[in-house]
Amino acid sequence: MANPIVTLRAYRDGLHLIIKPRLSIAEVEEAIQQEIARMNRPLVGTSVQIVLKSPVLEEEEISLLRSKLQEDYDLTVRGIDVVDDESVSPPIAAAPTTHAISQTTDVRAPRNSELSRIIPHTIRSGQTEEFPQGSLIIYGDVNSGSEVKAGGDIVVLGTLRGNAYAGMNGRLSAVIIAMDFAPLQLQIGNYTSRSPASQESRGYPEIARIGAEDVIIVEKFVKF
Amino acid sequence: MGKVIVVTSGKGGVGKTTSTANLGTALALLGKSVVVVDADVGLRNLDIVMGLESRIVYTSMDVIEKQCELAKALVRDRRVDGLMLLAASQKNNKDDIQPEQMKAICDKLRTTHDFVLVDSPAGIERGFSNASAGADEAIVVTTPDVSAIRDADRIIGLLQNAQIEPINLVLNRFSAQLVGNGSMMDQADVLDILNIDLIGVVPEDSGVITSTNRGIPLVYEDASPGAQAYMRIARRLTGQRIPIPDLEDKGLFSNIVKWFTRNR
Ligand SMILES: Nc1ncnc2c1ncn2[C@@H]1O[C@H](COP(=O)(O)OP(=O)(O)O)[C@@H](O)[C@H]1O
Ligand SMILES: [Mg+2]
């Protein structure tokens, strides 16, 4: 369940602390405390990117917040992004405004009636696999310079290094799962996200889905 | 019946011609009968690297146009028994030859020689289809950089579509020092992406440039690391099982592990 005021999320480039607009600094502080308490892993020594949704907190409130995060939680603030309230999205993702969804998309929506196609090999540069009728399962890697597109989910039982487009007919509950996640570009429905250039896989399976903030989020894959 | 092996890469300048010349010579030194075929019509240079440019009279184009017999177009390398070169025409271009015509030449050479190594031009167009048309197997040459690797990946896909198998990888211009300081991709990363069998790693070796300029393939310089690497690859091509030494030098244990993994 997403915290209504602040949300701490792991994105490709690290943790983002997303703060909703029009709040007093006291409310924000309290929400941060709850959100950090909710995280079941230690955050000490990590760095975060603060993502503020305009209208923003005052200049001095921000610096107060920065030192508080540092002192109370030992979190280094990497930077601060202000995103437009209309097209709410952290910097790594560009969310179109046409599909305003208010809650986390239900990624567990049933897929029983759906077809899936297995590609029993690595997909190499210059190759494309497209399956609008359902999901794609790849027994290999999706290499840089290649593209996979599916009406449903995309599951890569190897390393995803190329471009992946799930929910190509507009299904926003579609997900992209890879054993190793290092894509160039992701798309789910009409939401796209580009990864930072120097990104490396993390050595554990990850899942990309549309999250509560109307952006594609990538996080450690935990069984549904 | 011999084997036709196309030496290819996608990207230019990664060492296809160097590898063809050295592997061809190395195989002949091991007692095999070999023809190296330059398929880079219009931009030939295998003859220069082999030091045979002054002796070329006929080219594959002349054979295709029936100006001469195939056997007569082969230039014999006098330094070692059993090594021949079939040169490419310099005045034509790649579209003047059809893949079927190259295939016919390879099919003939296969019956008279143990190994036919075809030096492919860069690119994925006609030059590549001509070079691979008659191939049974492939050697993909890459350097450890992302752009060469992406092109190698593209070529591997095309070779697989053409059902050319096995496809073996030569990792060229490898520098343990650059891997050590983090500025070069290591062997494992390259293999993780390309996911084909590694047949050898050729180190960055300044001897390659001098040998190219003198027209004497490096493999004649027994002591050079590049020569030794090419000799080992040639031995593997003849079916000998020899370990790939770990140029990253992590010690004996990982050498043994690699040896076992390769011979699984
Ligand atoms: N292992 C190596 N060490 C140093 N230089 C090399 C090595 N391999 C190739 N080169 C150099 O790289 C250049 C391109 O090699 P070449 O074999 O002509 O590539 P290609 O045929 O793929 O275009 C040449 O100048 C060659 O001398
Ligand atoms: Mg060449």
* Cβ pair B193:A141 closer than 8 A: yes
What are the residues whose beta carbons fall under 8 Å from the beta carbon of A97, sequence distance 6 or more?
Answer: A86, A87
Which domains are seen in chain B, by residue range? Answer: 3-262 (3.40.50.300)
Q: From CA B60, how far away is CA B74, in angstroms rounded?
A: 9
- The percent of residues in chain A predicted with pLDDT above 90, rounded, is 33
Over residues A28-55, mean pLDDT: 73
Q: Compute, in angstroms, the gap from residue A189 CA to the centroid of ligand 2.
A: 45
CA torsion, ordered A46, A187, A85, A76, to nearest 10 deg: 10
A contacts of B160 (beta carbons < 8 Å) = 121, 124
Residue nearest to atom 9 of ligand 1 (CA): B15
Q: How far is CA B174 from CA A9, A208, B200, in A?
A: 40, 36, 11
In short, whether B16's Cβ falls inside 6 Å of ligand 1 is yes
Q: What is the rounded CA–CA span in Å between residue B159 and residue B165?
A: 8
Q: Is the pLDDT of residue A47 over 80?
A: no
Summarised one tens digit per residue, pLDDT across range A140-149 is 999 999 999 9
pLDDT at A81 over 60: yes
Interchain contact, B154 vs A144, CB within 8 Å: no
Which of B17, B18, B22 is the pocket-test mutation for ligand 1 (most atoms within 8 Å of CB)? Answer: B18
**B250 contacts: CB under 8 Å, gap ≥ 6:** none
Question: Which residue did the predictor score with more confidence, A113 or B109?
Answer: B109
Percent of chain B with pLDDT over 70: 94
Q: How far is A140 from chain B (nearest CA, A)?
A: 9
- Region A200-223: what's the mean pLDDT? 84
Is the CB of residue B123 below 6 angstroms from any atom belonging to ligand 1?
A: no
At residue B233, the 3 state secondary structure works out as helix
Q: Which residues of A are less than 8 Å from B151 in CB distance?
A: 125
Residue-level pLDDT at A88: 36
User: At the topology level of CATH, where does A6-86 sit?
Assistant: Transcription Regulator spoIIAA (3.30.750)
Q: What is the 3-state secondary structure (H, E, C) of A45-69?
A: CCEEEEEEECCCCCHHHHHHHHHHH
CA distance A172 to chain B (A): 30
SS3 B77: coil
CA B81 to chain centre: 20
pLDDT at B141 over 90: yes
Instruction: Tell me, using a 6 A CB cutoff, whether residue B90 lines ligand 1.
Output: no
Q: Do domains A6-86 and A105-220 have the same CATH topology?
A: no
Which contacts of B98-105 are long-range, i.e. CB under 8 A and separated by 24 or more positions?
B98/B130, B99/B126, B99/B129, B99/B130, B99/B133, B100/B133, B101/B64, B102/B39, B102/B60, B102/B130, B102/B131, B102/B133, B102/B134, B103/B133, B103/B134, B104/B134, B105/B37, B105/B60, B105/B63, B105/B64, B105/B70, B105/B134
DSSP E strand stretches across chain B: 3-8, 34-38, 75-76, 83-86, 115-119, 137-142, 167-174, 197-203
**Do residue B153 and residue A140 have CB atoms under 8 angstroms apart?**
no
> What confidence tens digit (pLDDT) does each residue in B71-91 have?
999 999 999 999 999 999 999
| Mean predicted lDDT score pLDDT of chain A | 78
Which of A127, A159, A161 is facing B157, going by the closest CB pair? A127
Tell whether ipTM is more than 0.90: no
State percent of chain A over pLDDT 70.
76
Segment A89-106, tens digit of pLDDT: 333 443 333 333 334 567
Q: Which of A6-15, B153-162, B181-190 has the highest mean pLDDT?
A: B153-162
Distance from the alpha carbon of residue B141 to the mean position of ligand 1, in angstroms: 10
Helix (H, G, I), strand (E, B) or coil at A20: coil
Mean pLDDT throughout B150-161? Answer: 97
Distance CA B87, CA B79 (A): 18
Q: How confident is residue B118, by pLDDT bands cut at 50, 70 and 90?
A: very high
Nearest CA in chain A to B148: A125
- Tell me the β-bridge partners of A17: A8, A50
Q: Taking CB atoms and an 8 Å limit, are A125 and B154 in contact across chains?
A: yes
Give Cα separations from B29 to B34, B36, B220 (angstroms).
10, 14, 9
pLDDT digits (tens, 9 = 90+) for A17-26: 778 777 778 8
What class is the A105-220 domain?
mainly beta
State in Å: Cα B43 to ligand 2 middle: 8
Domain boundaries, chain A: 6-86, 105-220
**What average pLDDT does the structure give for chain B?**
93
8 Å CB contact of A125 and B151: yes
